[in-house]
Structure 1
Amino acid sequence: MTQDVEALRTAPADLPASLRDVVEYRKSGLSLNHVVGCPLDCAYCVRHLFDNYDMKRPHLVMDDEAAVVALTTHWAFRPHRTPIQIFNRATDPFLPRVKDHLHKTLELLDGKGLTNPVLVISRWRVNREDVERMERLTSLKLTVLVTWSGIDDDRIEPIDSAIAEKTLATLAAHAVRTKRILYWRPIIAGINDGDDVIGRARELARLADATVFTGLFHRGQIRAHMRSIGVPDLYDSAPRRKIMPRLVERNILDAFGDQPIFRKTSCAVAHAHGLADYNGHLGIERICDICPAGQVEICAAAHAEPSRELITALAGEAGLVTGTIEIANGRILVEDSTEQQRYFIQHATGFQVHDKSHPHLPGRHGRAEEGWE
């Protein structure tokens, strides 16, 4: 390894167990997080949920070789199919020194000839040398999602959005094989949903292969932190799902018109690569009503209800009780499941999997109730 890679400190022994386990299943893929800690101080960061927000310096949990082994031997990993995310839970992948681990991890996976989709999410600086190194990959389907919000309240987001704008421009100028997405998030009613921000998002979208817009996780821990730094409550509730009020969505869609924009990350990734959505959103009423016709055709051609035998076998692998599984209205319905169990089956079948206790209501697109009552 290079000197820069060796400069990362080893994670402390008392690191929370949720972060010491470096592989976790999330909706957009099997997530690898063997570097933890971030100095960027975005107040809404999910690190609040992992008791890691106060670790400002990145630390190494294990080396890249061991991390790749942990990922590729994980019970849920499927070569050439399972979507992968790298450093999306507890650090930014393009921070100094962290990006050396990112590049090494990508190269180790690519060296195995794997063609899995790989998502890398960042709001930090991606320079031309980074792009050139990623462009040398030959197998992985790599997508860089450039997080941009347009938020100008330093208490909520101290990082200048101009950094993400420059990153997107650098990718647009030098990336071909590596796909780029404008990841417009978090959109917060009354904070960054005005006409000026929407207009800037439309301009930036022209630099991207696809654009995703999404709302705010307003969990209890995040709301408590916001209060502690003097930010009034952004919403009334603290639900498990992201908040994206109906009127905010309507204003954004009206402004974008025929310019492609997607509600779901995997839809944008699929569009950027010309592939079917690995999350199978096509089966859910009205999620895909804003997608380009050509993308809907690609997804429709690949969307097929899996056999009960296959679902039962996958549920067994995931340790899920199979006796209560139903298939109805474009989705697989299960009970008493975890997110990891559902997403494993979902990615293995390309078909939506929902728990009956958390139904997706028509037109809500898996979002929280606030703003939709």
Structure 2
Amino acid sequence: MKTDILLRKAPPDLPSALRQIVDYRKSGLSLNHIVGCPLDCGYCVRHLFANFEMKKPHLVLDDDAAVRELVEHWAFRKDITPIQLLNRATDPFLPGVKDHLIRTLEILDGKGLRNPVLVITRWRVEPDDIQRLERLSNIKLTILVTWSGIDDTRLEPVESSIAEASLHTLRATASRTKAILYWRPLIAGINDTDAHLARARDLSEQASATVFSGLFHREEIRSYLRSVGFEDAYPEVARRKILPRDLEARILTAFGGRPLFRKTSCGIAFAHRSADYNGHFGLKDVCDICPGAQVERCATAHARPTPERVHELARECGLSLDHIGVDDRRIEVKNSTEQQRYFIQHALNYQVHDAVLPHFPRRHGRAEIGWS
């Protein structure tokens, strides 16, 4: 089925960062051949790509060509590399977009690939969509349904009831396709009341797992929120997501031992009964809330790589061999890019950190705001 006619072609003056449709992120090699979104979430990462004003989805490249670019990328590994679809500049279940989403999934599945595939949405997932998704037989598909409970339209104009309905539909009709309650962004003083936490706990029963995370508070996002009259959520901007220590403690108490995960890949691993492809097991304080069965899976798969294997992968991605160390927790490198770190991390199921960007104990890779 040819779907290109459903969307306009992207304009020639599209920012160069958005014309690069494949890039590496922590949760996988990310394919973004559609850009533009009308949902207007004030904290959207599209602010970082100068694309927030493009309200209609546009096609950068057709689905077949986009998949070719993905699987021919130097970092792609069959059955290993996690894949993210349409997570940077649109919502994959928007009208018009979702036909391309499902067609792209069908192309990947038709290649016999068994890679984990992540699709993140806050929009409507309908029974007909799930019927098509359930026909996929190879890829390990996870739908991460974003829910926040935020009712301030400057931050989030989309009703949270839409995500709630999608979760209920997935629970009722999906089997092979796994659903995760993607509880984000949690913002202190905005959507962290006892009622919010109780509602998230109730919704968690509709999903295979729940993953919670905080707010990206970059300068571009803060500037936009100020422009629409929203007072700064936090006193500073930060490179990493912000989720204060006290808020996390309240979340853990509210969930009372129900399956809850700090990291996306951990929730996905639990849903599919596999080991975490990001190798967080080496960081024991990340795993201290995980169900025992999941800890056992990750422990079985956790193997400290040899220096020779790490050096082989480092050469493959162009990373200097001068400053590489390996211990029982992680691989430490220097002067690296995210793409280099995540490539090695996914190839080995083992954490890779840059010495300049350390992960401090019990902060779980988050910004220091609310922890110092």
CA distance in 1, matches of 2:161, 2:104: 28
Shift of 1:285: 3.4
Residue 88 (structure 2) aligns with? 89
Residue 162 (structure 2) aligns with? 163
Does the aligned pair in 2 maintain the 1:48–1:221 contact within 8 Å?
A: yes
Residue 357 (structure 1) aligns with? 356
Residue 257 (structure 2) aligns with? 258
Does structure 1 residue 328 correspond to structure 2 residue 301? no
Residue 134 (structure 1) aligns with? 133
CA deviation map 1:7-52 (0-9, x unaligned): 2010011111111010000000000000000000000000111111
Gaps of 5+ in 1: none
Residue 282 (structure 2) aligns with? 283
Q: TM-score, normalised by structure 1?
A: 0.99
Residue 221 (structure 2) aligns with? 222
Shift of 1:237: 1.0
Shift of 1:258: 1.5
Shift of 1:284: 1.1
Residue 148 (structure 1) aligns with? 147
Q: Name the SS of the counterpart of 1:371 in structure 2.
A: coil
Counterpart AA for 2:295: V
Q: Equivalent residues in 2 for 1:309-324 (5 A)? A: 309-324=308-323
Q: Equivalent residues in 2 for 1:159-198 (5 A)? A: 159-198=158-197
Does the aligned pair in 2 maintain the 1:47–1:89 contact within 8 Å?
A: yes
Does structure 1 residue 303 correspond to structure 2 residue 302? yes
Q: Name the SS of the counterpart of 1:206 in structure 2.
A: helix
Shift of 1:130: 0.2
Q: Name the SS of the counterpart of 1:309 in structure 2.
A: helix
Q: Name the SS of the counterpart of 2:287 in structure 1.
A: coil
Residue 24 (structure 1) aligns with? 23
Does the aligned pair in 2 maintain the 1:5–1:97 contact within 8 Å?
A: no
Q: Equivalent residues in 2 for 1:60-71 (5 A)? A: 60-71=59-70
Q: Name the SS of the counterpart of 2:92 in structure 1.
A: coil
Does the aligned pair in 1 maintain the 2:304–2:328 contact within 8 Å?
A: no
Shift of 1:317: 1.0
Does the aligned pair in 2 maintain the 1:36–1:60 contact within 8 Å?
A: yes
Shift of 1:322: 1.0
Q: Name the SS of the counterpart of 1:287 in structure 2.
A: helix
Counterpart AA for 1:108: I
CA distance in 2, matches of 1:280, 1:328: 13
The alignment covers a number of residue pairs equal to 372
Counterpart AA for 2:276: D
Does the aligned pair in 2 maintain the 1:83–1:118 contact within 8 Å?
A: yes
Counterpart AA for 2:314: A
Compute the RMSD of aligned alpha carbons.
0.7
Q: Name the SS of the counterpart of 2:261 in structure 1.
A: coil
Does the aligned pair in 2 maintain the 1:285–1:363 contact within 8 Å?
A: no
CA distance in 2, matches of 1:152, 1:195: 15
CA distance in 2, matches of 1:261, 1:234: 25
Residue 40 (structure 1) aligns with? 39
Does the aligned pair in 1 maintain the 2:331–2:353 contact within 8 Å?
A: yes
Shift of 1:5: 4.1
Gaps of 5+ in 2: none
CA distance in 2, matches of 1:258, 1:50: 38
Does the aligned pair in 2 maintain the 1:5–1:100 contact within 8 Å?
A: no
Q: Name the SS of the counterpart of 2:342 in structure 1.
A: helix
Does the aligned pair in 1 maintain the 2:4–2:62 contact within 8 Å?
A: no
CA distance in 2, matches of 1:77, 1:24: 11
CA distance in 2, matches of 1:331, 1:371: 25
Once superposed, which parts of structure 1, at least 4 consecutive aligned residues long, lie more than 2 Å away?
Answer: none
Shift of 1:114: 0.3
Does the aligned pair in 1 maintain the 2:211–2:261 contact within 8 Å?
A: yes
CA distance in 1, matches of 2:309, 2:119: 30
Shift of 1:101: 0.4
CA distance in 2, matches of 1:42, 1:87: 16
CA distance in 2, matches of 1:74, 1:21: 12
CA distance in 2, matches of 1:283, 1:187: 26
CA distance in 2, matches of 1:322, 1:70: 29
Counterpart AA for 1:313: E
Shift of 1:323: 1.5
Shift of 1:328: 2.6
CA distance in 1, matches of 2:197, 2:20: 38
Q: Equivalent residues in 2 for 1:194-209 (5 A)? A: 194-209=193-208
CA deviation map 1:144-194 (0-9, x unaligned): 000000001011000000000000000000000000000000000000011
CA deviation map 1:245-302 (0-9, x unaligned): 0000000000101211000000000000000000000101300000000000000000
Shift of 1:239: 0.7
